[in-house]
Chain A
């Protein structure tokens, strides 16, 4: 067995008990993320296949607003950075206050992203870009919408973690769950990079 019991940050300055304790869960969560990646991969493939099927409805040039997408990308990347600060304040010093503070900031940035995304969707629907209009729009709403749903789940998860931190402080179990939440959050960021490149930049190219 190597020193690295699982991929992810070491929980605690000198590996710590929690690092070993989360060996199974962290590894299992990576596998779960892989299966989730397969889901997103198939939705990407569906989008690429359906991309020409406009059926006379609106296409990317009428629907996409790159300014808003740029703002969303900025917010989400910033939230990934602040989650990095959550992990660092958990690992060095284990200050509950700092961890909770950066979690709240992360959640706020994520909420901002969601607000802009919903606004985009509402505008698209107003322009006749509803998923019932064409195969292209169905695949667009499914791919981007599933990412949005993942974010909603992530925000709920952050809420639960804040409640747990308030109730228990940074116990080993809480640390290990924060590690998983971090993996999840950065994973969503990664998916967004894919969506941003394939759907929005690719659609406008």
Chain B
């Protein structure tokens, strides 16, 4: 029987308590991690207080419904979670070099590490990074002023942050689940995992999953309904196409996750029998539903990265994108096929040869549109005038490593081979090999590419290149040896091993992990150093790379309303055509009054309350959960009665702001591509001859 007020929560749930009673290295690591979370929170609070930033943070960021700020906040949230998940990866690698017949972490602690590492990297790093990029870029690319539903956008961010917060709290209060990022029952049912760990996962993923569903709806409506005049479907930039595809996939893929989550919760809380061993439960059913979400999810996070690579290959080669239509078709084909391959995640669970063969073939077919894309990018670069800038370095790494990872994917798609290497380090190597060079390199390239648009200054080229090379080297050393380990027969998620041959390879991957840490440090230093040197790196005109689509025609950072007057588009790459005809930066014929959404605290309120609700449900504080849920409903109903949701911005103000901007453009010296990396690049491009 649990306490009526505090449920099953008491003072003994923190790792500090365990360390006090049993001071081992294992407990020291857990306590250290918890301490980092607490100290980090205190440090942030102290920083905000000492710099008097609470009010600006609230006024300009947390309550803002501006898609650009929401996008930036998504990326920052993902960045914080990324630091934690990389650190966890490093701790696991450190453990594995000592894990011959043991290791310094307890098996349970190691299991928590790989569970949180996977959960965070998928749900709180890859997904928010992609969501943030789409949020920031898409309205600018289609000539819209904001998202279709700005406030819902803010609520999506709040829900994602609530989920991330729950995962962070689990470091300090209680433990996390030990079932891997997929949390397969029956092991994660109430019988075998009675503690709060799996519940943390359920509510973190459930809450943020609803946020992602809403994001998907938002992106889809934005792209379908908010395009500027003349932006037909086949004139949209490639990144917008991939964003639309991802949005559609989010709408269809996240509901299955919600369902499997809810069923697992019903099993655990109310003793239902969906996935239990007894009384007619069917644990295979969980695997089916979960992977109906899980496989599309990997394409949800990689397609926008493909979109980024499309943008940068054409911009940095100063050529039109080769095979635009085939890229669109390939993107949509990948989206459709990705819903037909989920069973390849459990070939060995016994559904029979015919079913396995069908799904194996479907999985191999996905390689075809992906191959089309790679050839299109190569052809875009072919005979272009390529500048080896940071995004192109990431693109090169992507070409080499991602194709390699894709080929091992085709190997795994063959059920007969999968029987040999499933659930081994070979698989771990494969999915890291597609997610890191695919999604992560794509996002890194995208961040470098759009950073000037967001903040008005470029990132330091020299440091960013170093970080890119270190990522490339670190990745190769940390993950490619795992193929070898997998073929030697080392299972994944193994807390220790007995074969001494594994240990030397483990040292290799540990060295790789050190290089990855160095890459991450270089990356952070790039941001800090660039911010300090922002006067020399400033590009207020907003077109530092001789860009091709609409977003580069605005100032950097872009004004709140994005465009002083709604742009009219007549072709693909409209900005390049304007520059080639010698008529960029023209004043509009007429300016109209516009409406922008007012600030609102809806996102903070709903995110905060759902976070409280999740925490209360984990610890069985039923009264608090009910109260928080009632608060969410009350907030939504109260919002229905608010009428004054928009503020007008007058045409005169827009005209004046635009005129000031055009004056600044006229006073800025255009730079050609040879000077792109120098401090003379103030963001006005002297265009190349168009190709």
**A50 in contact (CB, < 8 A):** yes
Interchain CB contact under 8 A, B259 and A39: yes
- Which residues 107-150 in A have Cβ within 8 Å of B in the complex? 131-139, 141-142
- Which residues 130-152 in B have Cβ within 8 Å of A in the complex? 148-149
**B292 in contact (CB, < 8 A):** yes
**B620 in contact (CB, < 8 A):** no
Interchain CB contact under 8 A, A35 and B252: yes
The distance in angstroms between the C-alpha atoms of A27 and B259, with both chains bound, is 24
**A201 in contact (CB, < 8 A):** no
A interface bracket (residues with beta carbon within 8 Å of B): 35 or more
Among A41-49, A60-68, A97-105, the stretch in contact with B: A41-49
Interchain CB contact under 8 A, B280 and A32: no
- Which residues 412-460 in B have Cβ within 8 Å of A in the complex? none
Interchain CB contact under 8 A, B255 and A27: no
A146 to nearest B CB, angstroms? 9
The distance in angstroms between the C-alpha atoms of A137 and B266, with both chains bound, is 13
Name the A residues within 8 Å of B216 (CB-CB): 35
**B270 in contact (CB, < 8 A):** yes
A127 to nearest B CB, angstroms? 17
Interchain CB contact under 8 A, A54 and B280: yes
Interchain CB contact under 8 A, A31 and B217: yes
How would you classify the secondary structure of chain A's contact residues: helix, strand, loop or mixed? helix
Within the complex, which residue of B213, B217, B637 is in contact with A160, where a contact is CB–CB below 8 Å?
A: B637
Name the A residues within 8 Å of B148 (CB-CB): 24, 28
The distance in angstroms between the C-alpha atoms of A139 and B280, with both chains bound, is 11
Interchain CB contact under 8 A, A177 and B640: yes
Name the A residues within 8 Å of B595 (CB-CB): none
Among B218-226, B496-504, B570-578, the stretch in contact with A: B218-226
Interchain CB contact under 8 A, B221 and A24: yes
Interface centre among A42, A132, A167 (most CB of B within 10 A): A42
Name the A residues within 8 Å of B279 (CB-CB): 53, 55, 57, 133-135
How would you classify the secondary structure of chain B's contact residues: helix, strand, loop or mixed? helix
Name the A residues within 8 Å of B266 (CB-CB): 131, 138, 142
Name the A residues within 8 Å of B289 (CB-CB): 42, 46
The distance in angstroms between the C-alpha atoms of A25 and B278, with both chains bound, is 46
Closest B residue, CB atoms, query A41: B255
B397 to nearest A CB, angstroms? 36
**B263 in contact (CB, < 8 A):** yes
Interchain CB contact under 8 A, A134 and B273: yes
Within the complex, which residue of B217, B262, B285 is in contact with A32, where a contact is CB–CB below 8 Å?
A: B217
Interchain CB contact under 8 A, A31 and B282: no
Name the A residues within 8 Å of B23 (CB-CB): none
Interchain CB contact under 8 A, B255 and A35: yes
Within the complex, which residue of A24, A131, A138, A156 is in contact with B149, where a contact is CB–CB below 8 Å?
A: A24
- Which residues 2-28 in A have Cβ within 8 Å of B in the complex? 23-25, 27-28
A4 to nearest B CB, angstroms? 13
The distance in angstroms between the C-alpha atoms of A39 and B263, with both chains bound, is 12
The distance in angstroms between the C-alpha atoms of A23 and B149, with both chains bound, is 12
Interchain CB contact under 8 A, B280 and A38: no
Q: A28-B217, A31-B251, A135-B279 are in contact. List 8 more A-B contacts (CB 8 A).
A: A24-B226, A46-B285, A50-B282, A50-B285, A54-B280, A131-B266, A138-B274, A142-B263
B residues near A, CB below 8 A?
148-149, 213, 216-218, 220-221, 224-226, 251-252, 254-256, 258-259, 262-263, 266, 270-274, 276, 278-282, 285, 289, 292, 633, 637, 640-641, 643
9 smallest beta-carbon distances between A and B, as pairs: A53-B280, A135-B280, A55-B280, A38-B255, A138-B272, A55-B279, A28-B221, A134-B280, A39-B255
25 A-B contact pairs sorted by A residue (CB < 8 Å): A24-B226, A28-B218, A31-B220, A32-B217, A35-B213, A35-B254, A35-B255, A36-B255, A38-B252, A42-B289, A46-B263, A46-B285, A50-B280, A53-B282, A131-B272, A131-B273, A132-B271, A135-B273, A135-B279, A135-B280, A137-B273, A138-B272, A142-B272, A160-B640, A177-B640
